[in-house]
């Protein structure tokens, strides 16, 4: 199952039933889980863990050193979960900072020519169309959909079940359950189809629709809108998470809750 032209460091751990194609290069202290498949010309740099059942296509480079001026050669990691599809020429960098991780969850579809930068946390069930560019320290939560050629600024957080249209420029956090588009990216509507497919009840979807209108289609400022939602809309995990996400944005900088406020 390993092509004779593949170059594999002796410290690498290769699981059961792994297929490694022609001219692949596997670096030191790499681990590849059972049943994963690497097509020809895949490069996996040192300190990368790939889970079980992943498909990695030709030209992908995983675990490259971060494009960060602060990086000084320290040992850091890229951790990739199970059942991910990583298409042609995707690049995913390991973290900056000793012992830190770039982390990818399970069951993601990462299409050709995407880039995921250092110290990112990418959830599970995400669809990332071609040529998405994600800068360092970005957090993308579960079941987000990113259209083609989306660019995401460093430290942005994108909430679960959000959907972002192609060619968008994302410079601020995108709350969960929302549809967004544009340069710069703006909230346009509630992701009703995504919520339905995820099993969210009709009652909660209606409440979230009302929350969206209160936040983005009323004359209230953000503080007033959040107070109105908390008072007038029934409690649910989805409502409470949306409120918490938006409230946390004010603790960061420039609309990005994970971006430390400047002194």
**pLDDT tens track for 133-150:** 999 999 999 999 999 999
Check residue 263 and give its pLDDT: 61
Q: How many residues does the chain have?
A: 263
Residue stretches of the chain with pLDDT short of 70: 262-263
Cα–chain-centroid distance for residue 262? 25
Provide the 3-class DSSP secondary structure of residue 208. helix
Both structure tokens of 12: 């690498």
Check residue 261 and give its pLDDT: 76
Question: Which residues, 6+ apart, have CB-to-CB distance to 169 below 8 Å?
Answer: 150, 151, 182, 183, 184, 185
pTM of the predicted model as reported, rounded to 2 decimal places? 0.97
* Alpha-helix residue ranges (DSSP H) falling in the chain: 192-197, 202-216, 222-232, 237-249
Q: What is the pLDDT of residues 210-228, one digit of tens each?
A: 999 999 999 999 999 999 9
Both structure tokens of 124: 């599970």
Contact criterion met (CB below 8 Å) for 118 and 101: no
Question: Which residues, 6+ apart, have CB-to-CB distance to 2 below 8 Å?
Answer: 8, 14, 18, 19, 20
Check residue 235 and give its pLDDT: 97
């Amino acid at each position: 199952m390993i092509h004779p032209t593949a170059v594999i460091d002796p410290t690498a751990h290769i699981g059961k039933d792994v297929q490694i194609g022609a001219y692949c290069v596997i670096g030191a202290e790499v681990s590849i889980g059972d049943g994963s498949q690497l097509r020809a010309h895949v490069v996996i740099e040192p300190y990368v863990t790939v889970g079980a059942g992943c498909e990695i296509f030709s030209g992908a480079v995983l675990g490259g050193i971060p494009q960060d001026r602060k990086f000084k050669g320290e040992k850091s990691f890229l951790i990739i979960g199970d059942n991910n599809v990583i298409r042609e020429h995707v690049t995913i960098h390991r973290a900056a900072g000793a012992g830190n991780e770039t982390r990818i969850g399970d069951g993601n579809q990462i299409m050709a020519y995407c880039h995921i930068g250092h110290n990112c946390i990418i959830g599970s069930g995400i669809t990332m169309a071609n040529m998405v560019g994600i800068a360092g320290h970005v957090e993308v939560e579960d079941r987000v959909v990113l259209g083609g050629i989306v660019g995401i600024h460093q430290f942005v957080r994108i909430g679960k079940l959000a959907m972002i249209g192609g060619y968008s420029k994302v410079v601020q956090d995108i709350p969960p359950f929302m549809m967004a588009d544009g340069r710069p990216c703006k909230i346009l509507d509630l992701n009703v189809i995504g919520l339905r497919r995820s099993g969210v009840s009709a009652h909660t979807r209606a409440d979230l629709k009302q929350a969206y209108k209160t936040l983005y289609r009323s004359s209230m400022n953000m503080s007033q809108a959040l107070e109105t939602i908390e008072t007038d809309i029934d409690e649910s995990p989805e409502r409470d998470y949306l409120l918490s996400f938006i409230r946390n944005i004010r603790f960061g900088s420039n609309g990005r809750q994970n971006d430390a406020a400047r002194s």
